[in-house]
Amino acid sequence: MKNAELPFQIEHIDDDLNKQLLNDYNGERTGFVQVGPERYFFPSKFAKEAQHYYNFKVKPDDTWVITFPRSGTTWTQELVWLIANNLNFKKASSVPLANRFPFLEFSTFIHEELKEKFLKENEGYPDKLEIIKQIICPAYETLNEMTEPRFIKTHLPFSLLPPHLLETGCKVIYVARNPKDVAVSYYHLNKLFKTQGFKGDFEKHWDYFERNLNAWTPYWSHIKEGWNHRHHPNVLFLFYENMNKELGETLHTVADFLGKSLTKDDVQALKQYLDIKNFKQNRAVNFQSLKEVGILNNGAQGFIRKGITGGWSEEFTPQLNQRADKWINENLGNTDLRFPGIC
Compute how many other C-beta atoms are within 10 angstroms of the C-beta atom of residue 72.
24
Catalytic (active-site) positions: 155
Question: Residue 50: left (phi > 0), alpha (psi -120 to 50), or beta?
Answer: alpha
**Core vs surface per residue 2-21: b (16+ CB within 10 A) or e:** eeeebeeebeebeeeebeeb
Q: What is the structure's pLDDT at 253?
A: 98
Query: What is the span of the domain harbouring residue 148?
Result: 58-332
Neighbours of 273 (CB within 10 A): 17
Q: By CB neighbour count within 10 A (0-12 exposed, 13-18 middle, 19+ buried), where does 247 fall?
A: middle
222 within a domain of the structure (yes/no): yes
- Is 74 a member of any domain? yes
The answer to the question of residue 10 being in a domain is no
What pLDDT sits at residue 276?
80
Residue 41 confidence (pLDDT): 98
Name the domain count of the chain.
1
E strands of the chain, at which residues? 10-12, 32-35, 40-43, 63-67, 151-154, 171-176, 235-239
Contact 80, 63 (CB under 8 A): yes
Residue 342 lies in a domain: no
Strand 32-35 with 63-67, pairing: unpaired
Q: What does the DSSP assignment read for 277-337?
A: HHHHH-TTTS-HHHHHTT-B-TTSPPSS----SSGGGGT--HHHHHHHHHHHHHHHTTS--
In a domain, 261, yes or no: yes
Q: What is the pLDDT of residue 300?
A: 47
Q: Taking a C-beta distance cutoff of 8 angstroms, is the pair 47, 105 a contact?
A: no
Residue type at 312?
A: W
Taking the model in full, what pTM does it have?
A: 0.93
* 142: CATH: 3.40.50.300
Q: Residue 36 falls within a domain, yes or no?
A: no
**pLDDT less than 50: residues of the chain:** 1, 300, 302-305, 343
Whole-number pLDDT of residue 2? 60
Inside any domain, residue 110: yes
Q: Amino acid identity, residue 201?
A: D
Residue 170 lies in a domain: yes
β-sheet with 235-239: strand ranges across: 151-154, 63-67, 171-176, 235-239
Q: What's residue 303's pLDDT?
A: 46
Residue 106's pLDDT is what? Answer: 94
Under 8 Å between Cβ of 152 and 101:
yes
Do the Cβ atoms of 192 and 184 come closer than 8 Å?
Answer: no
